[in-house]
Chains A and B, each alone.
Chain A
Amino acid sequence: DAKTTQPNSMESNEEEPVHLPCNHSTISGTDYIHWYRQLPSQGPEYVIHGLTSNVNNRMASLAIAEDRKSSTLILHRATLRDAAVYYCILRGAQKLVFGQGTRLTINP
């Protein structure tokens, strides 16, 4: 399974944008980039995914580098509810392979 590298933790303020980076230099041409997050005491939840082009949905945006060796999850206006562990996952099969993720803290 291709490996991703994320910062262990990040901190931001409420109502400000948050950029969560992920490096995946060994990504293969068929791997999709998926992001999930896990709120405290809950199961993970899907955030967004993409292959080559940038993607937007109601929760976030995903910016994918042209060489696909890195990506950034963008929360445009963080709220306290966005405090969670965010996982960047390269998906080339049915299973999800989670790393350590980035623990995001939002300050009021």
Chain B
Amino acid sequence: DTGVSQDPRHKITKRGQNVTFRCDPISEHNRLYWYRQTLGQGPEFLTYFQNEAQLEKSRLLSDRFSAERPKGSFSTLEIQRTEQGDSAMYLCASSRGLSRLAGSKGSSYNEQFFGPGTRLTVL
């Protein structure tokens, strides 16, 4: 399977513990994104990388959250001192760089391919 993979698929932890999630993007994709989704809501953007550079971070990404993509391939998302409000599905996605949509004057945005997510439960 050459899609986006995430590990672990499920994580149960106690409040105050640190957790780390891993995302392996599609190999030729240079962009990697993290989203968070709570029950009944659409995914919310957290951060994205182009190669190893973290180019944008949401205000949702408090100082307890840190994401890295050290070699421009896989990425990790760490949550320190977890809180019950951190319970959610954490989704990773990857995409190629900008492309030109046929017939357009500007550039399009390539589709993002999502992984299956990591479901975090904080007790």
Contacts and interface: CB of A to CB of B under 8 A. Distances in A.
A24 B27 CA distance: 35
A95 B95 CA distance: 11
Interface stretch (A11-19, A39-47, A63-71, A72-80): A39-47
Contacts of A51: 101, 104, 108
Given A42-B116, A43-B117, A49-B108, A97 B103 contact: no
B42 A100 contact: yes
Interface in B66-123: 91, 93, 101, 103-104, 106, 108-109, 111-117
A87 B104 CA distance: 23
Contacts of A46: 111-113
Chain A binding site: helix, strand, loop or mixed by DSSP?
Answer: loop
Contact of B109 (A44, A45, A94, A99): A94
A96 B47 CA distance: 11
Interface in A13-41: 30, 32, 34
Given A43-B93, A91-B109, A97 B117 contact: no
A32 to B, nearest CB: 6
B109 A100 contact: no
